[in-house]
């Protein structure tokens, strides 16, 4: 009876954490505006490419719904061709997204949540995967703690609300690690070889690489982990020559699987879309990695906040992370000392170390510092979270014989860790943490600060990334105008008529600046008559300095003067001109 009760409580706890993960990840899923990378996802996942975007013409932001619609009859090879020509990503995620959007395209208008919801479910799948990973590697209690940790991890929730290919590769990497742990247990503990496990390992890693290129780092790290374990372990391996042969054949099989995409991959590495990654300076990748570890466990409002809030939040985050690191270090030492957990602990530690070495190699040797973006730490997040969860359970030695739910309830420290993670998730889903890059919502508010006046926003573009960034601003501006009109819908008739009069005069334009920034103003002066006497003109200009904006310009028949008090920079500058007849 007692055994059945523990069994029921265990799976009840797992169901609770899975449910919590679902709630946190779907909470306010549409609150944050789409940012540049999510716009790129939308373009290719809807079966489009950049030729679908109206360039060098003025269009109302209302017409964006004509751009972001599902295009039927597109095949996966066509999507792959679009990506090969116009992006830097492998095709599998986008083909899957196209299929998904095709099944929900006619069901309502909440297209942003439809675009993001697959990432949510992949993120929930990761919760289940790390449960089984830690259950196999350590214990059922460690598995449940891993599920709880990932469920309330601010970093995991943040990536689960991104319409990008991060939670899916996290899921496949987690599955690959699960198979890897089973393979090494077979070899070192049971002295057996099961071919189907190696085949599963090949398939999972091949799929992973066609989802995200960085999965190559994870695959190499797994190979290196097995090799190190073969060399370090003093246990005599039964049929060692067969194990080495299987490792060589498996590695070769994955390499062969990516040959059809290899040439495109090499071309993608040299595209301009990767030029935004800076060259690392000194120890920047090291401390940026440490910061990424912090935000995996705690996230407080430190972005675009008042200085006192930033200082207090930052100090609290560092203090909590330092305390947690001490507990994790103690727990890992204990895991390494115990015979039944040492091998799995070594495997996950070695894997994580090799992934970090791969990240630092890209940063320092290739000169592209990918540590500037915390999201790229998804590569080792499954092993990172598994180790933290297992170490926290092992560090509480006095409670080892109790049910995991009792351990969490009775040990206030574990409750604090999970509660702090939960609070961080609330900040994430409330747009107070992990805010979207380039702040499209704030930019839209700045542009639409005078709703009674017609607005034209111009994105001077050089490449496809500039176009995607401009579309994120246009989408945010469209939503800002809709929100304003909704808030004023209960005004008197005259006010409603005034709003109606101007609600369609919110225009956007992409103008090519490959011939120089001055050409933008020449194109503006040649626009057809706008049939208005007043206009707020906003010009976005990547790589342009404030002093490069001219004092005056023309839009059709309107004369425009720069407003020096309305200049902003959020990665790129944007400037207001006030135009009159």
Do 329 and 221 sit in the same domain of this protein? yes
**Both tokens of residue 425?**
């998730």
* 150 Cβ contact list (under 8 Å, min separation 6): 21, 126, 127, 130, 156, 385
pLDDT on residue 529: 80
pLDDT on residue 402: 57
List alpha helices for 76-166, DSSP H.
76-86, 92-104, 111-137, 140-151, 154-160
Kindly report, residue by residue over 249-278, the tens digit of the pLDDT.
Answer: 999 999 999 999 999 999 888 887 788 888
List alpha helices for 189-283, DSSP H.
195-209, 215-232, 240-257, 259-269
The Cα-based distances of 65 to 30, 105, 110, 115 in angstroms read 16, 13, 12, 14
Which of 429, 459, 481 finishes a domain? 429
Kindly report, residue by residue over 518-562, the tens digit of the pLDDT.
Answer: 899 988 988 888 788 889 999 999 888 898 999 999 998 899 999
DSSP letter, residue 380: T
Categorize the per-residue pLDDT at 405 as very low, low, confident or very high, splitting at 50, 70 and 90: low
pLDDT mean over 175-185: 96
Do 518 and 557 sit in the same domain of this protein? yes
The C-alpha atoms of residue 164 and residue 88 are separated, in whole angstroms, by 13
Do 507 and 404 sit in the same domain of this protein? no
Do 425 and 444 sit in the same domain of this protein? no
DSSP letter, residue 348: H
Q: Mean pLDDT of all residues in the chain?
A: 90
**Chain centroid, CA 550 distance in Å:** 38
Kindly report, residue by residue over 304-319, the tens digit of the pLDDT.
Answer: 899 999 999 999 999 9
Nearest in space to 552 (alpha carbons), one of 516, 578, 520: 578
Categorize the per-residue pLDDT at 502 as very low, low, confident or very high, splitting at 50, 70 and 90: very low
pLDDT on residue 155: 97
Do 544 and 500 sit in the same domain of this protein? yes
pLDDT mean over 430-445: 93
Which of 403, 429, 455 finishes a domain? 429
Do 305 and 353 sit in the same domain of this protein? yes
Angle formed at CA 76 by CA 75 and CA 77, multiple of 5 degrees: 90
Look up the pTM and report it. Answer: 0.92
Which of 429, 450, 484 finishes a domain? 429
pLDDT over 80 (residue 409): no
pLDDT mean over 214-236: 90
Q: Is residue 351 part of a domain?
A: yes
Q: How many domains are contained in the chain?
A: 2
Do 522 and 552 sit in the same domain of this protein? yes
Query: Torsions phi, psi of 535, nearest 5?
Result: -160, 140
N residues, the chain: 581
Q: For residue 573, what is the enclosing H or E element?
A: strand 573-580
* 198 Cβ contact list (under 8 Å, min separation 6): 183, 246, 249, 250
pLDDT on residue 274: 81
pLDDT on residue 473: 95
* 115 Cβ contact list (under 8 Å, min separation 6): 34, 38, 41, 42, 45, 97, 101, 163
Question: Which neighbouring-strand residues pair with 535?
Answer: 579
Kindly report, residue by residue over 551-570, the tens digit of the pLDDT.
Answer: 999 998 899 999 999 999 98
pLDDT mean over 78-88: 93
Do 272 and 416 sit in the same domain of this protein? yes
Do 236 and 284 sit in the same domain of this protein? yes
């Amino acid at each position: 009876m007692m055994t059945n009760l523990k069994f029921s409580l265990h799976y009840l706890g797992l169901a609770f954490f899975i449910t919590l993960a679902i709630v946190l990840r779907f909470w306010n899923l549409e609150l944050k505006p789409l940012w540049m990378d999510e716009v790129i996802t939308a373009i290719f996942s809807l079966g489009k490419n950049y030729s679908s975007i109206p360039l060098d013409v003025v269009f109302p932001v209302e017409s964006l719904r004509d751009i972001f619609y599902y295009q039927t009859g597109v095949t996966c090879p066509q999507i792959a061709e679009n990506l090969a020509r116009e992006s830097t990503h492998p095709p599998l995620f986008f083909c899957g997204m196209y299929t998904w959007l095709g099944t929900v395209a006619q069901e309502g208008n909440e297209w942003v949540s439809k675009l993001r919801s697959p990432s949510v479910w992949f993120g929930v799948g990761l919760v289940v995967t790390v449960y089984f990973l830690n259950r196999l590697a350590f214990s059922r209690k460690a598995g449940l703690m891993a599920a709880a940790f990932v469920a309330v991890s601010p970093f995991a929730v943040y990536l689960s609300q991104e319409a990008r290919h991060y939670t899916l590769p996290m899921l496949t990497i987690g599955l690959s690690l699960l198979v890897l742990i089973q393979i090494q247990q077979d070899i070192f503990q049971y002295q057996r070889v099961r071919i189907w496990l190696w085949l599963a390992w090949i398939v999972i890693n091949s799929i992973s690489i066609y989802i995200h290129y960085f999965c190559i780092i994870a695959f190499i790290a797994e190979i290196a982990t097995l090799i190190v374990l073969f060399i370090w372990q003093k246990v005599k391996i039964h049929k060692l020559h067969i194990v080495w042969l299987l490792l060589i054949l498996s590695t070769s099989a994955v390499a062969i699987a990516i040959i059809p995409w290899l040439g495109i991959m090499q071309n993608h590495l040299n595209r301009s879309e990767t030029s935004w990654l800076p060259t690392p300076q000194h120890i920047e990748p090291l401390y940026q990695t440490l910061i990424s570890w912090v935000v995996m466990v705690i996230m407080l409002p430190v972005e675009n906040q008042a200085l006192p809030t930033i200082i207090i939040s930052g100090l609290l985050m560092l203090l909590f992370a330092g305390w947690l690191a001490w507990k994790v270090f103690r727990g890992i030492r204990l895991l390494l000392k115990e015979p039944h957990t040492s091998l799995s602990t070594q495997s996950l530690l070695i894997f994580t170390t090799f992934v970090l070495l791969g990240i630092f190699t890209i940063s320092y040797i290739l000169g592209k510092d990918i540590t500037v973006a915390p999201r790229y730490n998804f590569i080792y997040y499954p092993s990172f979270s598994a180790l933290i969860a297992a170490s926290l359970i092992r560090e509480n030695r006095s409670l080892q014989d109790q049910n995991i739910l009792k351990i969490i309830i009775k040990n206030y420290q574990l409750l604090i860790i999970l509660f702090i993670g939960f609070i961080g998730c609330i900040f994430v889903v409330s747009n107070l943490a992990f805010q979207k890059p380039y702040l499209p919502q704030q930019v839209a508010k700045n542009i639409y600060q005078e709703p009674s006046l017609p607005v034209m926003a111009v994105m001077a573009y050089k490449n496809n990334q500039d176009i995607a960034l401009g579309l994120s601003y246009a989408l945010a501006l469209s939503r800002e105008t809709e929100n304003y009109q909704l808030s004023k819908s209960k005004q008197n008739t005259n006010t409603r008529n005034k709003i109606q009069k101007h609600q369609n005069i919110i225009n956007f334009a992409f103008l090519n600046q490959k011939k120089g920034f001055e050409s933008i103003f020449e194109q503006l002066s040649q626009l057809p008559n706008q049939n208005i006497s007043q206009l707020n003109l906003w010009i976005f200009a990547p790589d342009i300095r404030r002093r490069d904006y001219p004092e005056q310009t023309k839009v059709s028949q309107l004369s425009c003067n720069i407003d020096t008090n309305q200049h902003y920079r959020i990665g790129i500058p944007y400037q207001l001109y006030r135009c009159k007849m």
